[in-house]
């Protein structure tokens, strides 16, 4: 069940190639999977119920998305201007273009050497989540790219008739663990790109400057007509670097910004200093306005000693300094190689009563591990201090220690080894969870559509405040919404109620932790 859930964890910010979007405020229907999850919840204990609530909401968000693509990417509230090839300074951005991979993103041709060997295969840099689905600790290296993946450089609106896509040959490196970066190899050389006047940008060895003016070049898709889905230029400022969590992922030292126009398709976009020619970062995530919650999918939060803070209207970028100075054949030489034992992604949120970590350890060839736990943002997995004594993974394959009863976000850190060789703490694996005993702050919403001789009645999801419903209905004199008896899981299928009688429809909403709303009663009376 955990493996199935991890496979469904998708990003919210990039545009899948061909996706039918759900309506705002609704989770899309997919009767097979939703019904199965709902059926599994019925009659289970509280722990299983919370676990399945997590699966259900992620499955519902994923409906309609191609692998690795998001389902609820939102259009930007402020547009950035389109970038034309004739604009002053636009020649700097010819290496930037459209990546058509597991989702539509933005990518940039890069090279650690200048000038690169024209015979060498060209590399492009983008966000890790643009090339597939990742659990919190996944790292991929040396993987052949699926057929059909392409990169189109110089993706200007006024040169559409000259756009030339190049096939992507392989994923050199990709991860969402600690950073959100991917290096792809094209089935074309730097010389092939130079023939169309596309030359790579160098990577900055310094992190994004705090408070400095930056330029972001990206190709958003969501909310834009097809003839405007080309490169755009945002001029803004880079904020103070911060750690960011968007369950189940944590990214260290991300740079916040208030750049306009960031939307689905912008991920992987180029970030340079104003008038600069070196890549300092790539766009990673943004705070969505169509969903609620803190540190959840589409609602990244900043984490630190003061706890978790969400900043509406903020986007984040991941610095590329770890790539600078690495050779062309090992551009990710300073990044996590993905060799350590990893805990499974547990749940997004749980109630405190009886809550445990419930995290299975994937040994990945390691025999022993050490762990530490604590509040997220105040517990640094990269700091070797605070880890417990080593234990054999085969003796303790499941970390089921109790979670604290206090409401907060928590992290479980794991370092592992075999013999005298241990993964350094800077590459520690982790999983996170929220202890949440607070009921949803919104009331259930029930829709009753008039179909003439019937009403089609269904509750409306409000991600992430209400992700599941229990319902019941009947004649008003036979149904008491305050009585817990008779409720059953809502299976994503409307109730079709004949207008030959009056009806009372009752709904109780639940959040990811399983906290319940007061019951909602809707009375329907024939005219």
Q: Specify whether 302 is located in the same domain as 353.
A: no
Residue 396: closest CA among 416, 411, 379, 410 = 416
Q: Specify whether 316 is located in the same domain as 218.
A: yes
Task: Indicate whether 50 belongs to any domain.
Answer: no
CB-CB contact of 310 with 294 (8 Å) = yes
Residue 347: per-residue pLDDT: 82
Render pLDDT for 435-468 as a digit per residue (tens, 0 to 9): 999 999 999 999 999 999 999 999 999 989 999 9
Residue 66: per-residue pLDDT: 30
Spatial distance between the Cα atoms of 95 and 103, rounded to a whole number of angstroms? 19
Q: Specify whether 173 is located in the same domain as 305.
A: yes
Cα 173 versus chain centre, distance:
18
Reduced to 3 states, what is the DSSP secondary structure of residue 192?
helix
Structural domain of 354: 339-437
Q: Specify whether 101 is located in the same domain as 199.
A: yes
Task: Indicate whether 34 belongs to any domain.
Answer: no
CB-CB contact of 416 with 423 (8 Å) = yes
What is the number of domains present in the chain? 3
CB-CB contact of 217 with 270 (8 Å) = yes
Residue 331: per-residue pLDDT: 85
Q: What is the dihedral of CA 98, 100, 106, 109, to 10 degrees?
A: -70
CATH of the domain at 402: 2.60.40.10
Cα 75 versus chain centre, distance:
16
State how beta strands 520-524 and 488-489 pair: unpaired
Cα 188 versus chain centre, distance:
30
The pLDDT mean for the chain works out to: 86
Q: Specify whether 218 is located in the same domain as 307.
A: yes
Please state the φ and ψ torsions of residue 329, each to the nearest 5 degrees: -85, 0
CATH of the domain at 520: 2.60.40
Q: Specify whether 401 is located in the same domain as 464.
A: no
Residue 52: per-residue pLDDT: 44
Residue 210: closest CA among 128, 280, 288 = 280
Residue 136: per-residue pLDDT: 96
Boundary residue ending a domain (376, 402, 437) = 437
Q: Specify whether 300 is located in the same domain as 380.
A: no
Boundary residue ending a domain (378, 407, 437) = 437
Spatial distance between the Cα atoms of 315 and 12, rounded to a whole number of angstroms? 13
Task: Indicate whether 482 belongs to any domain.
Answer: yes
Q: DSSP H helical segments within 13-156, as ranges?
A: 31-41, 46-62
* Residue 116 CB coordination number (10 Å): 23
Non-local (6+) Cβ contacts of 318 within 8 A are: 127, 179, 180, 181, 251, 254, 255, 281, 282, 284
Band of the pLDDT at 1, cuts 50, 70, 90? Answer: very low
Q: Specify whether 348 is located in the same domain as 430.
A: yes
Task: List the single range of 56-65, 287-296, 321-330 with lowest mean pLDDT.
Answer: 56-65
Q: Specify whether 404 is located in the same domain as 457.
A: no
Task: Indicate whether 315 belongs to any domain.
Answer: yes
CATH of the domain at 105: 2.40.10.10
CA dist 370 → 168, 366, 377, 415 (Å):
39, 11, 20, 5
Render pLDDT for 360-384 as a digit per residue (tens, 0 to 9): 999 999 999 999 999 999 999 999 9
Task: Indicate whether 66 belongs to any domain.
Answer: no
Residue 8: per-residue pLDDT: 27
CB neighbour burial string for 227-245, b if at least 16 within 10 angstroms, e if fewer: eebbbbbbebbbbebbbbb
Q: Specify whether 297 is located in the same domain as 361.
A: no
Band of the pLDDT at 257, cuts 50, 70, 90? Answer: very high
Cα 175 versus chain centre, distance:
12
Band of the pLDDT at 76, cuts 50, 70, 90? Answer: low
Q: Specify whether 408 is located in the same domain as 449.
A: no
Spatial distance between the Cα atoms of 350 and 80, rounded to a whole number of angstroms? 40
pLDDT over 90 (residue 87): yes
Task: Indicate whether 279 belongs to any domain.
Answer: yes
- Residue whose structure tokens are 């075999």: 418
Band of the pLDDT at 113, cuts 50, 70, 90? Answer: confident
For residue 7, the surrounding DSSP H or E stretch is helix 2-7
Band of the pLDDT at 262, cuts 50, 70, 90? Answer: very high
Please state the φ and ψ torsions of residue 367, each to the nearest 5 degrees: -105, -25
- Residue whose structure tokens are 């969870």: 433
Task: Indicate whether 433 belongs to any domain.
Answer: yes
Residue 487: per-residue pLDDT: 98
| pTM: predicted TM-score of the whole model, two decimal places | 0.85
Spatial distance between the Cα atoms of 256 and 105, rounded to a whole number of angstroms? 19
Strand partners, 214: 236, 273
Q: Let me know if 192 is exposed, middle or buried by CB neighbors in 10 A (0-12, 13-18, 19+).
A: middle
Q: Specify whether 120 is located in the same domain as 171.
A: yes
For residue 46, the surrounding DSSP H or E stretch is helix 46-62
Band of the pLDDT at 47, cuts 50, 70, 90? Answer: very low
Boundary residue ending a domain (330, 363, 387) = 330
Residue 22: per-residue pLDDT: 26
Max intra-chain CA distance, the chain:
81
Task: Indicate whether 273 belongs to any domain.
Answer: yes
Reduced to 3 states, what is the DSSP secondary structure of residue 414?
strand
């Amino acid at each position: 069940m955990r493996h199935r859930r991890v496979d469904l964890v998708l990003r919210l910010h990039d545009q899948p190639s061909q996706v039918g979007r759900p309506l705002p405020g609704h989770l899309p229907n997919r009767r097979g999977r939703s019904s199965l999850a709902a059926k599994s919840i019925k009659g289970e204990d509280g722990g299983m119920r919370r676990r399945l609530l997590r699966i259900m909401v992620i499955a519902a968000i994923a409906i309609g998305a191609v692998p690795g693509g998001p389902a609820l990417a939102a259009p930007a509230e402020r547009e950035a201007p389109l970038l034309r090839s004739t604009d002053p300074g636009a020649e700097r951005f010819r290496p930037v273009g459209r990546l058509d991979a597991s989702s539509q993103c933005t990518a940039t041709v890069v090279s650690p050497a200048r000038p690169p060997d024209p015979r060498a295969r060209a590399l492009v840099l983008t966000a890790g989540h643009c090339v597939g689905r990742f659990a919190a600790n996944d790292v991929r290296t040396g993987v052949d790219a699926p057929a059909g993946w392409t990169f189109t450089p110089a993706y200007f609106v006024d040169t559409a008739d000259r756009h030339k896509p190049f096939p992507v040959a392989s994923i050199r490196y990709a991860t969402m663990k600690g950073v959100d970066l991917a290096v792809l190899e094209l089935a074309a050389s730097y010389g092939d790109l130079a023939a169309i006047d596309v030359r790579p940008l160098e990577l900055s060895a310094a992190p994004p400057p705090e408070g400095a003016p930056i330029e972001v070049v990206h190709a958003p898709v969501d909310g834009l007509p097809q003839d405007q889905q080309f490169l755009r230029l945002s001029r803004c400022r880079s904020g103070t670097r911060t750690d960011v969590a968007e369950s189940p992922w944590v990214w260290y030292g991300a740079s916040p910004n208030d750049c306009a126009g960031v939307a689905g398709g912008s991920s992987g976009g180029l970030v340079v200093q104003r008038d600069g020619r070196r890549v300092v970062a790539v766009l990673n995530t943004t705070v969505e306005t169509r969903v609620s919650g803190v540190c959840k999918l589409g609602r990244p939060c900043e984490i630190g000693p003061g706890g978790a803070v969400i900043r509406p209207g903020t986007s984040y970028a991941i610095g590329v300094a770890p790539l600078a100075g690495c050779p062309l054949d090992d551009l990710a030489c300073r990044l996590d190689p993905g060799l350590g034992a990893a805990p499974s992604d547990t749940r997004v949120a749980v109630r405190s009563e009886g809550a445990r970590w419930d995290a299975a350890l994937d040994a990945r060839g390691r025999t022993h591990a050490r762990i530490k736990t604590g509040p997220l943002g105040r517990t640094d997995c990269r700091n070797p201090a605070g880890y417990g004594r080593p234990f054999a993974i085969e003796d303790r394959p499941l970390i089921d220690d109790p979670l604290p009863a206090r409401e907060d976000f928590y992290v479980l850190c794991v370092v592992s080894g075999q013999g005298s060789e241990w993964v350094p703490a800077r590459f520690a694996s982790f999983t996170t969870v929220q202890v949440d005993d607070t009921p949803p702050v919104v009331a259930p919403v029930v829709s009753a559509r008039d179909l003439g001789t019937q009403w089609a009645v269904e509750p409306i999801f409000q991600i992430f405040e209400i992700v599941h419903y229990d319902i019941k209905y009947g004649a008003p004199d036979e149904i008491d919404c305050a009585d817990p008896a008779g409720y059953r899981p809502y299976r994503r299928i409307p109730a079709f109620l004949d207008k030959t009688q009056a009806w009372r429809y009752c709904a109780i909403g639940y959040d990811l932790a399983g906290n319940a709303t007061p019951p909602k009663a809707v009375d329907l009376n024939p005219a």
